[in-house]
Amino acid sequence: MMPLAVAHGARSALIPMLAALLGIIIFLVDTLTPLDMAVAVLYVAVVMLLADVLTRRGILAVGALCIGLTTISFFAVHNVRFELEAVARAIVALSAIGIVTLLSLRNRHSSESLRDQAALLDLTHDAILVRDASDTLLYWNRGAEELYGWTADEAVGRNTAELLRTGFPISREAAAVELERHGRWEGELRHTRKDGARVTVASRWSLRRDAQGRPLAVMETNNDITERKASQDRLDKAQAELVHVTHMATLGQLTASIAHEVNQPLAAVVTNGEACLRWLRRPSPDVGEALASVERMIANGRRAGEVVARMRALSRRQADRQETVDLSQLVRESLALVERELTRHHIAVELDLADALPVVTGDRVQLQQIVINLAVNAVQAMEGAPRPRRLKLRTRALEWAEGEAARLDITDSGVGADTEAMSRLFEPFYTSKPDAMGLGLSISRYLVEAHGGVIEATLNSDRGMTFAVILPAAKEQSL
Amino acid sequence: MRHAQMVAIIDDDEQVRTATASLVRSLGLATRTFASAEDFLLSPEQGVADCVITDVQMPGMSGVELQAALRAKGSRTPLIFITAFPEDRIRRQVTLAGAVGFLAKPFDGQEMIACLDAALAGA
């Protein structure tokens, strides 16, 4: 048998009792008193009272019962003498009961489908919230309760941005403009949970408008990506460390190889020298052995020189990978490689890149290394500096003594440097930072000079400093 | 008269080998030179050398492996190591295994002589 009631609990037990009592009173008054009124119309109250707690079949049963009771009362009071007025009253009452029963059935149907839809929204793991045009929360699903910790009762009616302390990727206004223009917005947001923990969510907004096209409500679907972000950050950090370690390992191998190559002839020189002295200091000096030792010293000194010459030739050959490079284009490529670093340190990048620069020739990777080193140096200089932290990169064509040239200025708003630091900036292993190697700027200067250019640093008038790189234009410009 | 004590010198670098031999001979000692640890192990001098001066890094068998091979044979010939790239790890390893000296190239003549004195004192 189908259930007749849908809800249970103290309130739902009280309502049927009230309805039953009301039904009995109406029946008694209608049957036993000689009132010339359509008392039976009041049965609609019984149906309406029960409409919320009964199933559709239950509503139908109650409606039929009320109609039955009305009919019984009519025949009991009026027997078989049908007065026109009485019949009319009975018909009004029966119609009213019938109409209310049918309306209740329809209402029950639509509220059931609404409930089903809302239950579906509760099934999803995403946090779904609906807020009106003034950012007041209207709906808060179970996913939102689980993600943020507030129950729907606690959240509905609150201001969304205040409750969640929303952090926007660019700004709240930018998101609002996009939403207004396209009807939707998506991006990463930072929210605060009830327990105070910060979470990162991938958020999608859809705007619902009224008939006049005015914003009515926004549905926001938020997907928790905190863990994914954290592991991505860990991965990035590990990669950066790996690059650093590889760099150090390469440096270490290079040092070992240079040490070995140079130390062999040096060892021969020193040992021959020592041997020579011993041969000469013997009670009867052995001039033949001493002379042979000196000759070997000379030969090994020359050999050490050759080792150094070979290494220089090796580094020259590597610098020989020449191609033409547009400095503005190079800046864009290089910045793409340090983008994460810039974002992570909340640095606003300002580009002022000239279009028709004279091209320079050189090794693209080495030239990129210059821009990256200077950008990273600027980021480090702005670490701990007050915001806004600005990194400005500007390229310009330039005439200098050797002809045409291209110039790059990299300006930061960092802590700058004192007089002593300014004079030693480009020295290898000179650094003001405890965890840095102090090689970035010296390598940059080495690379700039290897490309026939110059690099200089100046303090800005307000704060921070500017590094200027000037590279000569390619001689045979095929334009 | 007693025979001059003999020092075997093993280094893949001919110049270092010759210079070291000259220094050792200037002390009145006899020398034999070898371009590799394998050459030394296969030679008749292997059993009669009073001391061995060997490079650490060499193509083929390294100085460290030579030390292990000699010890495995029960040889008690003292060893002096010379290297162009001194590493503490290797210094500790060979010293623990009984090396008399571990010198970085270019080494100091006086230090080498002190090591030789120590190595040959017991012979």
- Residue A459 pairs in a beta bridge with A465
* Buried b or exposed e, range B26-41, using 16+ CB within 10 angstroms: bbebbbbbbbbbbebb
Start-to-end CA distance of chain A, whole Å, equals: 92
Backbone angles phi, psi at B93, to 5 degrees: -60, -50
Which tokens in the block code for residue A360?
A: 């320079």
Q: Do A353 and A449 share a domain, yes or no?
A: yes
Helical ranges in B43-87 per DSSP H: 63-72
Which of B18, B25, B85 faces A259 most closely, judged by CB atoms? Answer: B85
Amino acid code (one letter) for A226? T
Chain A nearest CA to B44, separation (Å): 27
Cα three-residue angle B41-B46-B52, rounded to 5 degrees? 95
Minimum CA–CA partner of B20 in chain A:
A271
Q: Which residues of B touch A260 (CB under 8 A)?
A: 57, 84-85
Which domain range does residue A303 map to?
231-317
Quick one: which of A396, A370, A372, A392 has its CA closest to A464?
A392
DSSP state of A9: S
CB A326 within 8 A of CB A358: no
Contact status of A270 with chain B (Cβ, < 8 Å):
yes
Start-to-end CA distance of chain B, whole Å, equals: 16
- Domain assignment present for residue A412? The answer is yes
Is B22 in contact with A279 (Cβ distance < 8 A)?
yes
Which tokens in the block code for residue A254?
A: 């290079």
pLDDT at position A12: 60
Cα three-residue angle A41-A42-A44, rounded to 5 degrees? 85
Cα Rg, chain A, nearest whole Å? 44
Q: Which residues of A touch B62 (CB under 8 A)?
A: none
Q: Do A142 and A112 share a domain, yes or no?
A: no
Interface A–B counts its CB contacts (< 8 A) at 81
- Domain assignment present for residue A188? The answer is yes
CA distances, A377 to each of A239, A374, A386, A415, A440 (Å): 19, 5, 17, 11, 7
Of A71, A105, A122, which residue constitutes the final position of a domain? A122
Q: Which residues of A touch B109 (CB under 8 A)?
A: 270-271, 274-275, 277-278
Whole-number Å distance between alpha carbons of A157 and A137: 5
Residues of chain B scoring pLDDT < 50: 1-2
- Domain assignment present for residue A276? The answer is yes
Contact status of A271 with chain B (Cβ, < 8 Å):
yes
CB A361 within 8 A of CB A474: yes
- Domain assignment present for residue A109? The answer is yes
Is A264 in contact with B25 (Cβ distance < 8 A)?
no
Which of A294-299's residues contact partners 24+ apart within 8 Å by CB, and which partners? A296/A268, A296/A272, A296/B15, A296/B18, A296/B19, A296/B22, A297/A268, A297/A269, A297/A272, A297/A273, A299/B15
Contact status of A265 with chain B (Cβ, < 8 Å):
yes
Minimum CA–CA partner of B87 in chain A:
A256
Which tokens in the block code for residue A173?
A: 């206004």
Whole-number Å distance between alpha carbons of B97 and A414: 56
pLDDT at position A410: 96
> Which CATH number belongs to the domain containing residue A162 in this structure?
3.30.450.20
> Which CATH number belongs to the domain containing residue A425 in this structure?
3.30.565.10
CB B99 within 8 A of CB B81: yes
Cα three-residue angle A179-A184-A188, rounded to 5 degrees? 90
CB atoms within 10 A of CB A202: 16
Q: Do A113 and A156 share a domain, yes or no?
A: no
Is A268 in contact with B82 (Cβ distance < 8 A)?
no
* Buried b or exposed e, range A95-132, using 16+ CB within 10 angstroms: ebbbebbeebbeebeeeeeeeeeeeebeeeebbbbbbe
Q: Walk along chain A (479 residues) in steps of 10 and give the mean pLDDT of each run.
A: 50 79 88 77 87 84 90 79 80 90 86 76 86 89 92 91 88 86 90 93 90 86 90 77 64 69 89 94 93 94 85 63 87 82 85 91 84 89 85 92 89 88 80 69 85 91 92 69
Q: Which residues of B touch A269 (CB under 8 A)?
A: 19, 106
Q: Do A101 and A171 share a domain, yes or no?
A: no
Q: Do A337 and A451 share a domain, yes or no?
A: yes
Whole-number Å distance between alpha carbons of A59 and A71: 18
Q: Do A259 and A373 share a domain, yes or no?
A: no
- Domains (ranges, CATH) in chain B? 6-121 (3.40.50.2300)
CA-CA-CA-CA dihedral for B79, B84, B85, B91, to nearest 10? 10
- Domain assignment present for residue A5? The answer is no
Angle between helices A43-51 and A84-123 (to 10 degrees): 10
Q: How many residues make up chain B in this entry?
A: 123
Q: Do A412 and A303 share a domain, yes or no?
A: no
Is B15 in contact with A278 (Cβ distance < 8 A)?
no
Is B19 in contact with A263 (Cβ distance < 8 A)?
no
- Within 13 Å, how many C-alpha atoms sit on residue A409's CB side? 18
Is B109 in contact with A271 (Cβ distance < 8 A)?
yes
Contacts of A376 (CB under 8 A, 6+ apart): A338, A341, A440
Backbone angles phi, psi at A194, to 5 degrees: -60, -35
- Domain assignment present for residue A4? The answer is no
Helical ranges in A282-326 per DSSP H: 287-319
CB atoms within 10 A of CB A441: 21
Q: Do A145 and A104 share a domain, yes or no?
A: no
> Which CATH number belongs to the domain containing residue A250 in this structure?
1.10.287
Which of A267, A275, A303 faces B26 most closely, judged by CB atoms? Answer: A275
Of A317, A341, A372, which residue constitutes the final position of a domain? A317
CA B110 remoteness from chain centre: 16
Q: Which residues of A touch B88 (CB under 8 A)?
A: none
CA A243 remoteness from chain centre: 24
pLDDT at position A6: 53
Q: In what order do the strands lie in the sheet with A198-209?
A: A137-140, A127-132, A215-224, A198-209, A184-192
ipTM: 0.84
Chain A nearest CA to B41, separation (Å): 24
Of A317, A339, A358, which residue constitutes the final position of a domain? A317
Contact status of A376 with chain B (Cβ, < 8 Å):
no
Q: Do A340 and A466 share a domain, yes or no?
A: yes
Is B13 in contact with A268 (Cβ distance < 8 A)?
yes
- Domain assignment present for residue A284? The answer is yes
Quick one: which of A345, A265, A272 has its CA closest to A302?
A265
Which tokens in the block code for residue B27?
A: 């002390």
CA distances, A226 to each of A175, A205, A230, A233 (Å): 21, 19, 6, 10
Is B84 in contact with A259 (Cβ distance < 8 A)?
yes
Q: Do A361 and A387 share a domain, yes or no?
A: yes
Angle between helices A364-382 and A327-337 (to 10 degrees): 60
- Domain assignment present for residue A1? The answer is no
Q: Do A458 and A334 share a domain, yes or no?
A: yes
What total number of domains does chain A contain? Answer: 4
Minimum CA–CA partner of A274 in chain B:
B109
pLDDT at position A387: 79
Q: Do A300 and A202 share a domain, yes or no?
A: no
E strands within chain B?
6-10, 30-34, 51-55, 79-83, 101-104
Minimum CA–CA partner of B22 in chain A:
A275
